[in-house]
Structure 1
Amino acid sequence: MTSRVPEDVVWMRSSTSSGDDAVEIARLPDGGAALRRANDPDCEPHVYTAAEWDAFVKGVDAGEFDLPE
C-alpha cells in the first residue's frame, strides 16, 4: 500500500454499497481521505488532501452531483 496511506487506517464501506462496484473510504490522520475498490484492496487507493475532500463533501451537500430529473 502507498506510503501516503498508513497501514492502520480503518476502511469503511457504506451499508448501501455492495457487489463489484463497492468502494471503501478511510479517513487519513491529516484530515484527507483515501478511496479504494472493496473487491481489490491491494490496488492503489485514490488519495485526497483534506482541502480536496472538504470541497467534495461540500459539493455533495450542495447537490452539485445530483442527477437531473
Structure 2
Amino acid sequence: MDQIPPALAWRKSSLSAQQDNCVEVADLPGGGRVVRDSKDPDGPWLSFSGSTWQMFVGGIKGGEFDGLGS
C-alpha cells in the first residue's frame, strides 16, 4: 500500500488524550489498520493486515509486551 485512503477516521487512546506522545490508528477496508504519530499526521505511517493487527492486539492483552522499555 503506497497511500493512505482519504477520509480515514483517525483515533487515539482516551488514556493519552492529554499527552503529546501518542499514536493514532484508523480502520482500513478489509479489516486492516493504519498507525501514525499524532504529532506528525503527514509523516510516515505503518499499515497492518487484519490478521496481523489481531495478533498484535492479542499479544498486548495477553501481556506479551509487558516489561518492554523498562
Q: State the TM bucket, normalised to the shorter chain.
A: 0.7 to 0.9
Q: Does 1:36 align with 2:63?
A: no
DSSP-derived class of the 1:65 partner: coil
Counterpart of 2:25?
25
Q: How do 1:53-68 and structure 2 match up within 5 A?
A: 53-67=53-67
Structural RMSD (CA):
1.5
Given residue 44 of structure 1, which amino acid in structure 2 is its aligned partner? Answer: P
Q: Which structure has more RCO (C-alpha within 8 Å, separation ≥ 6)? A: 1
Q: Which runs of 5+ in 2 are unaligned?
A: none
Q: Which runs of 5+ in 1 are unaligned?
A: none
Question: What is the TM-score normalised by the length of structure 2?
Answer: 0.81
Which runs of 4 or more aligned residues in structure 1 lie more than 3 Å from their structure 2 counterparts after TM superposition? none
Q: How far did 1:42 drift? A: 0.4
- Percent of counterpart pairs with the same letter? 37
Question: What is the TM-score normalised by the length of structure 1?
Answer: 0.82
